């Protein structure tokens, strides 16, 4: 198996502690990726532009991240998982720190693009490492932990972004994230042998990466799965990127209260991610995936109806649960597409984060029809996709 780590102990096969440690890196990447969601009104006022212009900061980061996952993930097969994670964490921290010193919207858009490019190898390399280390029957558990950190970083980034900005300003928020990124790098460096083994085995083959991608995408099962990865990423990112504005306009919340309202998005994943992964391992992904997609569609359609503030906060948490019931399961399926785990998970991360960027971009482009109508359009589209998923994933275990 390409990229298989030698020296991983038998205990590591059952212990999930290494997964938690590596998932911290993805947590901080997602934290930084979405911490600007509640800051759009503040940034637009400071930079003297409208909210729509500032909102392009989000897709710049996510699209840069998405496209470059195709570069890093196969490189982790060739050069080793640790080297890619280490390089990306350092690059991510550097560009995050520089973002604290911008004085205009276009500068921030450009630096966040570079930050996304720098960080792009962390998530797919971690998924590849999980597929190297854990057998398929335990992979749902490990990926549940990983994607719980994805959802948790998204939510806590948004909530803490509003909280810290209300206290000390957005610049120190970026400085703090850069420092945290370097601390996580130091922890992984210290525990390198425990996580990656005494000596990583890397692929000796110099196969053409494009041929590997083509081989994977030649199968209908892979194409269908990656389409759902892309679409589900578009759905969740588009909705979440505008949730801060949703609570600001409909309930008059300030930055602190917006952050608290968005906090519920990450709670199901952090608390239940491992359990949901085990449920998928036990009952089958063909049963859980449609449930997650239906849940996401219905919660967004209900959000657009302007129920009470408390009800909307509950719906945000249920929206997150829909993510946790779908994306980890897509990732587990993707790890079976090829023995070249870096290529398979690179494509997964490419479609996921391209979806993240495209979703926030599309909603920014159509928001002039009204945020409620935009949400309804996304919700109906997901409802159709959920119905189709019953057929598409019926043979998955």
Q: What pLDDT is recorded for position 185?
A: 94
Residue extents of the structural domains in the chain: 8-192+209-392
Q: What pLDDT is recorded for position 225?
A: 93
CATH superfamily of 8-192+209-392: MFS general substrate transporter like domains (1.20.1250.20)
Q: Which residues contact 311 (CB under 8 A, 6 or more apart)?
A: none
- Distance CA(187)–CA(21), nearest Å, equals 8
> What is the distance of C-alpha 257 from the center of its chain?
24
Which token pair is 34? 């979405």
- Distance CA(151)–CA(265), nearest Å, equals 7
Reduced to 3 states (helix: H, G, I; strand: E, B; else coil), residue 206 is: coil
Which token pair is 282? 């036990």
CB atoms within 10 A of CB 54: 23
Mean pLDDT by 10 residues, the chain (397 residues): 39 66 90 77 80 78 80 80 92 94 89 92 87 78 81 76 78 92 93 74 59 88 93 90 85 79 74 68 78 94 93 91 85 81 79 82 87 93 95 86
Q: What pLDDT is recorded for position 51?
A: 73
Most distant CA pair in the chain: distance in Å?
A: 59
Q: What pLDDT is recorded for position 91?
A: 95
CA–CA–CA angle 389, 391, 397 (5° rounding): 85
């Amino acid at each position: 198996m390409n990229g298989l780590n030698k020296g991983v102990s038998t205990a590591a096969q059952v212990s999930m502690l290494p997964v938690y440690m590596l998932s911290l890196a993805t947590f901080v990447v997602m934290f930084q990726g979405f911490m600007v969601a509640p800051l759009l009104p503040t940034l637009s006022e400071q930079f003297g532009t409208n909210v729509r212009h500032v909102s392009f900061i989000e897709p710049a980061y996510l699209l840069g991240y998405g496209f470059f996952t195709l570069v890093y993930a196969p490189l982790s097969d060739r050069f080793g998982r640790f080297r890619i994670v280490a390089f990306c964490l350092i690059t991510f921290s550097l560009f995050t720190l520089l973002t604290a010193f911008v004085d205009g919207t276009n500068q921030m858009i450009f630096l966040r693009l570079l930050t996304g490019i720098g960080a792009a190898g962390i998530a797919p390399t971690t998924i590849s490492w999980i597929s190297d280390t854990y057998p398929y029957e335990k992979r749902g558990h490990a990926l549940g932990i990983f994607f719980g950190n994805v959802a948790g970083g998204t939510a806590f980034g948004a909530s803490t972004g509003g909280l810290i900005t209300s206290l000390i300003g957005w610049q120190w928020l970026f400085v703090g994230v850069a420092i945290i990124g370097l601390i996580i790098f130091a922890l992984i460096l210290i525990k390198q042998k425990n996580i990656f083994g005494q000596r990583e085995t890397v692929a000796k083959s110099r196969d053409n990466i494009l041929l590997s991608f083509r081989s994977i995408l030649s199968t209908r099962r892979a194409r269908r799965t990656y389409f759902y990865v892309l679409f589900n990423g578009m759905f969740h990112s588009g909705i979440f990127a505008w949730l801060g504005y949703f609570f600001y306009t409909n309930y008059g919340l300030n930055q602190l209260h917006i952050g608290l309202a968005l906090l519920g998005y990450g709670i199901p994943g952090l608390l239940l991610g491992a359990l949901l992964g085990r449920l998928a391992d036990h009952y089958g992904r063909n049963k859980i995936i449609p449930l997650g997609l239906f849940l996401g569609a219905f919660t967004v359609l209900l959000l657009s109806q302007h129920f009470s503030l408390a009800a909307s906060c509950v719906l945000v948490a249920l929206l997150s649960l829909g993510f946790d019931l779908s994306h980890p399961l897509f990732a587990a399926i993707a790890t079976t597409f090829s023995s070249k785990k870096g290529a398979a998970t690179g494509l997964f991360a490419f479609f996921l984060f391209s979806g993240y960027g495209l979703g926030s971009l599309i909603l920014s482009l159509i928001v002039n029809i009204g945020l409620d109508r935009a949400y309804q359009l996304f919700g109906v589209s997901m409802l159709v996709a959920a119905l189709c998923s019953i057929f598409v994933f019926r043979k998955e275990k």
